[in-house]
Chain A
Amino acid sequence: MLTEIVAHDEAALLQRWIDNQFNASGFRPDRIGRAELQENSTQFLSSFRRALNSGATDIQGADWAGVRHILDGLSSARAEQGFSPTETATFIFSLKQPLFERARALYANDPARLAEATWEISQVLDKLGLYTAEVFQRGREAVIVRQQQEMLELSTPVVTLWDGILALPLIGTLDSARTQVVMESLLQRIVDSGAAIAIIDITGVPTVDTLTAQHLLKTVAAARLMGADCIISGIRPQIAQTIVHLGVELGSVVTKATLADAFSVALHRAGLAVVQKQAARRKPPADPDRESEGNEA
């Protein structure tokens, strides 16, 4: 029965449906163009008709795979474009009205069949609508998970300052999950690069409480077990006060106010020193040759 309703003058039905979607309250002309909508709707309607022709009613079945595929693509695309679930589900639910009108016109003289057709349409479209919402939600969740992952990776870079000296600029709050990631990436880099000194810079850590301090100490202890010494740098005045007020015992860990200080300690331990270039120090301003040399350097 539903097949009959859909198959009868499909072009007119499509037109009616698209108009309906355009006039729906949740429609976003700023996010989706008429052409794209037309394409989506046409594709959907033709696979919808094919699925109905197969006679299967279970939308999870193989016969509905085409319809599901279109809805998958549409929902995840709209989830990423920032549509709301209602706006996305409207795609399906706005098909109800044109179908009901059809049914009323076709079965005007047969109330029993009309009621049956209405029920059938409702059931199929409700299922498809729910399916759309579900896929939409999954798409959103995937976006969130990906962003979380990206944030974790973004916020824990390990940089090589010098041969054998690593730096770990920490940015953001240090919770258990992040400590784990930080520790793993730091230890792996120690193994890969054979570094003997690691500088943990906490300039970007907004607050340090006892838990954060404990996480830092754990990281330092783990690095020490791998044979690398750690220096903690970037301790702001407020943080120094907090650490003392909280009674956090940093033990034998070397702490420095700035990354530069920590770096010079690290260089010293590695037996290196930064010296000023002789030419730059006593550059006679009258000598043009000298000056160009200095600029090149």
Chain B
Amino acid sequence: MERIPILKMGEYLLVTIQVDMHDRLAMTLQDDLTAKIVAARARGVLIDISALEIVDSFIGRMLADIAGMSRVLDAETVVVGMRPAVAITLVELGLSLTGVRTALNVERGMELLRRRIAGRNEDDAGSA
């Protein structure tokens, strides 16, 4: 069965969506990603959707869900590389993904993740 690869890089997980998402694939990704976050004890998840051309409300909600699940598992999520047409579609669908962090490209996304995680480490150290 088709799967979306999840790459581990240090304490980050990289998910690059290179194919058009269909509902089954999205559900599998949710399962795989949550399992992987726990197994790899990841602190940050970066989802690159620069190749995604078509989104519907289901995929939009799935992105929001993944971000929410990662947060519960104590991992920051950044969605990067959204295309203008996709952004407009999501907004028109009423899904502005308020809980999801976004960045323009992978580089900016990694920078954001590093900053967030560094900030959280400081907070943890401060409270301990």
Contact = CB atoms under 8 A, between A and B. Distances in A.
Interface of A: 180, 183-184, 187-188, 190-191, 194, 196, 218, 221-228
Contacts of A222: 84, 87-88, 90-91, 96
B108 interface: yes
Given A187-B87, A194-B104, A196-B104, A225 B82 contact: yes
Nearest to A193: B104
B96 A184 contact: no
B88 A227 contact: no
Contacts of B86: 225
15 contacts: A180-B88, A184-B84, A187-B87, A190-B84, A191-B84, A196-B104, A218-B92, A221-B96, A225-B82, A225-B87, A225-B90, A225-B102, A226-B84, A226-B102, A227-B105
Contacts, number: 56
Nearest to A251: B98
B80 interface: yes
B97 interface: yes
Contact of A224 (B92, B102, B105): B102
Contacts of A191: 83-84, 104
Contacts of B103: 227
A227 B47 CA distance: 13
Interface residues of B, number: 19
Among A184, A191, A196: residue with most chain B CB under 10 A: A191
A180 B84 CA distance: 11
Contacts of B87: 187, 222-223, 225-226
A187 B105 contact: no
Nearest to B80: A227
Majority SS of interface residues in chain A? helix
A22 B86 CA distance: 61
Contacts of B102: 224-227
B111 to A, nearest CB: 10
Contacts of B80: 227
Nearest to A221: B96
A221 B84 contact: no
B104 A221 contact: no
Nearest to B78: A227
A227 B102 CA distance: 5
B104 A218 contact: no
A224 B96 contact: yes
B105 A194 contact: yes
Contacts of B84: 183-184, 187-188, 190-191, 222, 226
A222 B90 CA distance: 8
Given A222-B87, A227-B108, 5 more contacts: A191-B83, A225-B82, A225-B86, A225-B102, A227-B109
